[in-house]
Structure formats: structure tokens, C-alpha cells
Amino acid sequence: MNAARRAVCVMTHQRADEVAPVLARLIAAARANAIELRFDANETRKHGLQPDEDGIIVVDAEPRDDVELCIVLGGDGTILRGLRCFEGTSVPVFSVNFGEVGFLATIEPDELDEYGFERAFAGDFDVLLLPAIVFRSGGGGAQHKAFNDISCHRKIGGRVAQLSYGVQCEEVGSVRCDGLVVCTPAGSTGYNLANGGPVLAWGVEGFGVSFIAPHSLTARALVVAPADTLTVSNCGREAIDVNVDGRPVCEISPGEDIHAAFEPRAASLAQLPGSSFYKRLRAKFGRLAS
């Protein structure tokens, strides 16, 4: 292997057969540009990859931040995995959408003819610095980071939750509900939007709070300033489950709380040159409504 060779990390979703033609196209483009493609053990096994003689395909490679790009073939879940993997580095995530919505995706598969992998290798894209939400439990538990959202919700079959929430140690309210969602601007078009919460344009500094099935006529969504800390307390009699970007991570016991804060510039997302949030919003959700 040439130590000076440029390297790219590759991540794909679970439907290997669906991405196989585009993966073959990526490998061909990498070979033509002498780009090393690194696949971790899961990707290697999923696609039945073998190392080749010219060292373009590197198998069982643990992700490292010495790559110049992470290419994702998948939906928002796989893109979030790439963002988590390279958070805090300068490695941008460039994604081809194979998901249902793919709001975070850089391009659609049918745009590859116009915007191929060669342009991605050349760095012909803009980079959006995405914020995150960092939280830990009040008892000093493990720290977690969300690029989309944190969702606190009652257990299946459990009682309705009683959640109080406050900002900078000032209680804002207490709501009987099925749960609560704290979202970044990038995640505001997901669970938060389904709750009737506000859509936050990319570039907005701050994070949103919305409620899942509130048992109240007065519960309102909230946008928290970027320098403020949000506290969510479980005032009910049963534990509350907590998911980060759709993955279960912990629970909040009765009487406990979590503290969430805004972290700017946590990861890098590649976008087509001149792309805008509003164009993406119209294209993704206008298409779904038609």
C-alpha cells in the first residue's frame, strides 16, 4: 500500500444488493483516481469484499480520521453513523441517498451521472458544519451526543409521563405527555416536525423542544438559545426511555433529570455547491406530499 495515497472511508446501509451497482461505480472511480477505499469489518463482510492487488480496496479497516472523506451509500440513519464516527474532525460526510427521505443526503442516485464520485474526490462540494446536542444525566452519567434529536418517552404500556422542563435553572413548565423531543436544526424536520414543532433552518443557532401527544391545551414548542442549558426532569412514577438519533441509550428514573446543551460545529456534512436548506425542504417534503 502506498502510504501517501489519498484515502476515503465507505459506509453503506443494510440492503447490500440495492447499493451494489453504485458501490461498483465508486470502486471504479476510486481506481481511476488512485483513491484508497477503506471498509470496516462489517462492510467487508456485508459486501463480500477482498483486497485487490493495487491496494484500492482495503478491508477490515477501522475508521480513522486520516481519511479525507467519508462516502455514505444509505439513508439518514447511515449518514448519522458517519457523522458520529467523524465528529470533531474535519472529515466531511458525502452521501448518496438510499433511504426513504434522506434529508441529510448530498445527492440522489439519479444525480450521479451529473455529479459523479470524481467530483466528490476533487472536493467539488460545499461543507456545512452541523451542530449537535450534548446531554448527560443529572447523576453524572455517560455523555451522549445527538446530531438529529434526543427523544424522551414513556415506556410501552406504561403510564403517561409527567415531564418538567426548564432553561438556565428556571422551570418553564410541566406537561403530562407521551414524551418530549429535543432537536438540532438538522433534526427539526424529523420527530420534531411530526409533533408540530418548529422547522429550524440550517444555520440557526439553538435547538428545539416539542412534545409527544401532550395532554394539555397550553403545551407549546420552544426554541432554546445556543448558550442556554435545558433541563428535563421526570416527575412521574415510572422510568422514561431516552433515545439518541433513534437509538436507545438510557432511561430517566423518577426524580432524575438530564441536561442538554448546544454544541456548534460538531461534524461536517458535504452539500452540492449552491445547495440551500429551503430548496432541500421543498424537494424532500414537496415530493412526499405529491
- What pLDDT digit, counting tens, does each position of 93-104 carry? 999 999 888 889
Q: Does residue 1 lie within any of the structural domains?
A: no
Rounded to 5°, the CA angle 12-97-44 comes to 10
Q: Mean pLDDT in the chain? A: 92
Strand segments (E) across 5-60:
7-12, 36-38, 57-58
Residue 147 belongs to a domain with what CATH number? 2.60.200.30
Q: Does residue 48 lie within any of the structural domains?
A: yes
* Residue-level pLDDT at 289: 46
- Mean per-residue pLDDT, 159-177: 93
The answer to whether 164 and 180 have CB atoms below 8 angstroms apart is no
- Does one domain contain both 169 and 279? no
- Does one domain contain both 279 and 240? no
The boundaries of the domain holding residue 200 are: 131-265
76 is catalytic: yes
- Does one domain contain both 112 and 135? no
Q: Enter the DSSP assignment of 238.
A: S
pLDDT at residue 284 tops 90: no
- Does one domain contain both 24 and 91? yes
Q: What is the DSSP string of 175-231?
A: EEESEEEEE-TGGGGTHHHHTTPPP--TT--SEEEEEES-S-SS---EEE-TTPPEE
- Does one domain contain both 135 and 258? yes
- Does one domain contain both 178 and 60? no
- Mean per-residue pLDDT, 215-230: 93
- Does one domain contain both 165 and 258? yes
* Residue-level pLDDT at 53: 86
- Does one domain contain both 157 and 238? yes
- Does one domain contain both 245 and 151? yes
Q: Does residue 167 lie within any of the structural domains?
A: yes
Number of domains composing the chain: 2
Q: Does residue 38 lie within any of the structural domains?
A: yes
pLDDT at residue 38 tops 80: yes
- Choose the catalytic residue: 52, 65, 76, 178: 76
- Does one domain contain both 146 and 194? yes
- Does one domain contain both 278 and 256? no
- Mean per-residue pLDDT, 233-242: 96
Residue 74 belongs to a domain with what CATH number? 3.40.50.10330
- Does one domain contain both 152 and 257? yes
Q: Does residue 93 lie within any of the structural domains?
A: yes
User: Could you tell me which of 151, 171, 170 has the C-alpha nearest to residue 252?
Assistant: 151
pLDDT at residue 113 tops 60: yes
